[in-house]
A and B are shown apart, each in its own frame.
Chain A
Amino acid sequence: MSAADPNRLPSSVVREDEHLLVAAAKKGNDASFEELVNRYEGKILRLTRNITGNREDAEDAMQDAFLKAYSHLDEFQGDSRFYTWLVRIAANEALMRLRKRRPGQFSLDEPLESDSDLMPRELEDWRPSPEREYAHAEMQQILSEAVEKLEPEYRIVLALRDIEELSTQETAEALGISASAVKSRLLRARLKVREKLNRHFRKGDLN
């Protein structure tokens, strides 16, 4: 762990520091806002990539999210973490672009069809610590492919809940859908990711 990499700092340290930076930025200290951008740009880019599944849209959505956050900073009340607020803005920017590219092709709040397809098909033992057998970059590649291949309605919920670690309620608010819609999509998303990782992690099949 490098002290220079704020993404790896314990969250309590990040939170305390974040609070001071936000307070200074709200008083007009632009250097503090830039520090917040430096801190979160990689995470926000990861989020917009996971939502749009498209590099160009992800970069534009990330940039517009930070510009919008700067313009609307006085509306941030501090009742959530600044990062959570930022994630909501970025998720909206990314969703807007995804909807433009794939109009009417996915819905986040329509009831899901029957759960007849819910039962896992690929049941095989995994090696004891499969993630440690891969080089860091290789593991990140496996992960991003597994997420990218999910349908958008599952990918988006998974990105907010299990990668950005928002709560069910925060995810529901960010996407403007019910908590039960978040939960039903999250269950399917998690089962699908397990199945995709199974192809890499099963015993006797190091690939």
Chain B
Amino acid sequence: MNCKGVIRELSNYLDGELDSAIKEELDRHLQHCEDCTMVLDQTKKSIEILCDSEPIPLPADLHARLHSALRQKMAKKEN
């Protein structure tokens, strides 16, 4: 497998979605290719950082608007 082949399968590799034969081929390439190893490690780190992304706290007025719309809907349902 060449570098392009590795990059094409990078996402599947990180998600654990590769056949064992292809994974072994990719692992063999990584043992001697510093560039692909660097891209793989940095992409993995990027995903970890994305997973840690924080929810956006709602500004008080938006929170109030949302809940007021919701209560109106709830009141209509009850009537």
B65-79 to A contact mask, C-beta < 8 Å, 1/0 = 111011001100000
Q: Which residues of B contact A118 (CB under 8 A)?
A: 4, 7-8
Q: Tell me, rounded to whole Å, the shortest Cβ–Cβ distance linking B49 to chain A.
A: 6
Q: How many interface contacts (CB-CB < 8 Å) are there between A and B?
A: 106
A67 touching B11 in the complex, CB below 8 Å, given contacts A125-B38, A194-B39, A197-B49: no
Q: Is A168 an interface residue (CB 8 A)?
A: yes
Binds B, one of A40-48, A89-97, A102-110: A40-48
Provide the main secondary structure of the chain A interface: helix
A42 touching B4 in the complex, CB below 8 Å, given contacts A158-B50, A194-B39: no
Q: Tell me, rounded to whole Å, the shortest Cβ–Cβ distance linking A61 to chain B.
A: 12
| A-B CB proximity, top 9 nearest | A42-B55, A187-B11, A162-B50, A43-B55, A45-B56, A194-B46, A30-B74, A46-B56, A194-B43
Binding site for A on B (CB under 8 A): 3-4, 7-8, 10-12, 14-15, 17, 35, 38-39, 42-43, 45-47, 49-51, 53-58, 62-63, 65-67, 69-70, 73-74
Binding site for B on A (CB under 8 A): 7, 30, 33-34, 37, 41-43, 45-46, 49, 59, 62-63, 66-67, 70-71, 115, 118-120, 123, 125-126, 131, 139-140, 143-144, 147, 158, 162-163, 165, 168, 183, 186-187, 190-191, 193-194, 197-198, 201
